[in-house]
Amino acid sequence: MHILTDKIEFPNPITASNDGLLAIGGDLSSERLILAYQNGIFPWFDSDEPILWWSPNPRFVLFPSNLKVSKSMKQILRNSDFEVTINKAFIDVIEQCRNLKRDGQTGTWITEEMKKAYIKLHKLGYAKSIEVWRDHKLVGGLYGIDLNNGVFCGESMFSKVNNASKVGFISFIQNTNYKLIDCQVYTNHLESLGAEELSRNEFLKYLY
pLDDT one digit per residue (tens) for the chain, 208 residues = 799 999 999 999 999 999 999 999 999 999 999 999 999 999 999 888 999 999 999 999 999 999 999 999 999 999 889 999 999 999 999 999 998 765 544 446 789 999 999 999 999 999 999 999 999 999 999 999 999 999 999 999 999 999 999 999 999 999 999 999 999 999 998 999 999 999 999 999 999 8
Choices 1.20.120.530, 3.30.70.3550, 3.30.300.130, 3.90.1010.10: CATH for 2-56: 3.30.70.3550
Assess if CATH 3.40.630.70 describes domain 60-205.
Answer: yes
3-state secondary structure of 129: strand
Tens digit of pLDDT for each residue in 40-88?
A: 999 999 888 999 999 999 999 999 999 999 999 999 999 889 999 999 9
Give me the residue spans of the domains in the chain.
2-56, 60-205
Would you give the end-to-end CA distance of the chain in angstroms?
24
Burial grade of 151 (CB within 10 A; 0-12, 13-18, 19 or more):
buried
